[in-house]
Amino acid sequence: MTDGGVQHTVVGWFRADPRRTDVLIAATTIALAVLLAAASPQPFDAGWPDVAACIGAFVVLLLRRRWPLPLLAIAVVASAIHAVVWNQPSLMVFAALVLLTTACIRLERVQAIVLGVAVGCALYGITLCYEEFAAGDERSVIAFVWAAAAVGIADATRSWRRYRDSSEQAVRSAVLAAEARTREEVTEERLAIARELHDLLAHNLSVMNVQTGAAMHLLRADPDAAEEALVAARGAGKSVLEELTQLLGVLRHDDDAPLASVPTVENIPTLVDTMRSAGLDVIWTVSGRPRPLAPALSLSTYRIVQEALTNAAKHGTGRAQVDLEWSDAAVIISVTNPVGAGAPARAAGGHGLIGMRERAETNGGSLRVDGDGEVFRIDAVLPLVSQVASPPSSVTVDGGAST
């Protein structure tokens, strides 16, 4: 293990249980106090007052986190009593300095300085009780030096803790932000997959439903037409299986390779022919100068037209008109269809309309849906230079029906 690893392990061991730090500080303080007392020119007989002071100092240091100020007062008073009665320094003085440091860490700087001056004056008064300092020995000012050192250590510790806490908070905020971004990306991916699945399945299954219904109706009257309808339904089923296979293949492989046959705006005429073969009378017009589109914009254009025609086939009277206009700044899609008498004013879920709106706004465009109970109209504007907007959570529908 490296030195950094050992240091991290030791620090972590102490931070895991603050009582371990309290025991270490108490034991270290008592040991240093005993060593200094033994090295002093004054006699150190370790009588019962010193033993009592040693035990008392150890106890108050163990409890320093709970009541630093009351224990500081007790330590100062005990040191004064020891000085007056036995005329010698007490080990409680060292405990008082540690308690002063602990108390000042929890105070603001000005309050800590005031407390340090007060304790320094008290300790200076205690030193004057000693016979060797009674004449005003300059060594008595050591009380102020120790008090100032305690306040300085407390100030440095407080500043370091604030820096550490702010750094840890910054790290936590960064982690939370990264997790939020990840969740947002996952949600966007799920929405994208849901849109693709909905558009893929809704269109092809609608075609299959129409064709199989027509086949059942024509089975006895016109077997050839029924067979053609079943062939068309089978083709729609094959198409949905192929597209599902491609979509699942993309989800299984972590690469950016595009799909070999992603539908584009150039495939809209084929889509129109498919819907016509399914029994929907589609009028298809194009105006303006067509031009190449970005893959995402081209796919969105196709999917919006596909979903609008699927909606017309499910809820309309069998007719629809698709107008695709190429302007200088945008692709403008308009799809209108008469609404059947039995069509609902609005669908329960409206996932298709939500998906179209999301596709439009993901590409920086907009989508409007209008309906008066007789005609259902979808207008989408997709700018050629995309200005991406956040996808909405709902779509407003003025009448009409949706998938």
**Which class for 84: exposed (0-12), middle (13-18), buried (19 or more C-beta within 10 A)?**
exposed
> What CATH number has the domain bearing residue 297?
3.30.565.10
| DSSP assignment string, 267-279 | GHHHHHHHHHHTT
Which residue, of 136, 168, 203, is where some domain finishes? 136
Q: Are 119 and 166 in contact (CB under 8 A)?
A: no
Phi-psi region at 108: left, alpha or beta (left = phi > 0; alpha = psi -120 to 50): beta
Cα–Cα nearest to 62, from 37, 89, 91, 99:
99
Look up tokens 């249980």; give the residue: 17
Euclidean distance between CA atoms 125 and 179, whole angstroms: 59
Residues 6+ apart with CB under 8 A from 362: 296, 300, 388, 389, 391
Q: Are 232 and 277 in contact (CB under 8 A)?
A: yes
Is 345 part of any domain?
A: yes
DSSP 8-state symbol, 347: -
Q: How far is CA 81 from CA 84, 125, 127, in A?
A: 5, 12, 12
Is 241 part of any domain?
A: no
Is 244 part of any domain?
A: no
Taking the whole predicted model, whether its pTM rises above 0.85 is answered as: no
The count of structural domains within the chain is 2
Cα dihedral 113, 116, 120, 126 sign = positive
Euclidean distance between CA atoms 87 and 132, whole angstroms: 10
- Phi and psi dihedrals of 127, rounded to 5? -65, -30
**Three-class DSSP category at 387:** coil
Is 252 part of any domain?
A: no
Query: How high is the pLDDT of residue 397?
Result: 38
**Integer Rg of the chain from CA:** 42
Which residues span the domain enclosing 10?
Answer: 3-136
Query: How high is the pLDDT of residue 403?
Result: 46
What ranges in 316-364 are assigned the alpha helix state H? 351-362
What pLDDT tens digit does each residue of the chain (403 aa) get? 555 555 555 555 556 566 777 777 777 777 776 666 655 555 555 566 767 777 777 788 788 888 888 888 888 888 888 777 777 677 788 888 888 998 999 888 899 999 999 988 888 888 877 666 655 566 667 888 888 999 999 999 999 989 988 988 888 888 888 888 878 877 777 777 776 777 667 666 767 776 677 777 777 777 777 777 777 777 777 776 766 776 666 566 555 545 446 788 999 998 898 888 877 899 999 999 998 888 888 988 998 998 898 888 888 888 999 999 999 899 999 999 998 665 554 444 456 788 888 889 888 999 999 888 789 999 999 998 754 444 443 333 344 444 4
**Three-class DSSP category at 374:** coil
Q: State both tokens at 290.
A: 């067509």
Q: Helices 351-362 and 295-315, interaxial angle, to 10°?
A: 160
Which residue, of 103, 119, 136, is where some domain finishes? 136
Phi-psi region at 343: left, alpha or beta (left = phi > 0; alpha = psi -120 to 50): beta
Query: How high is the pLDDT of residue 228?
Result: 75
Look up tokens 């010698």; give the residue: 88
Is 259 part of any domain?
A: no
Which residue, of 120, 136, 152, is where some domain finishes? 136
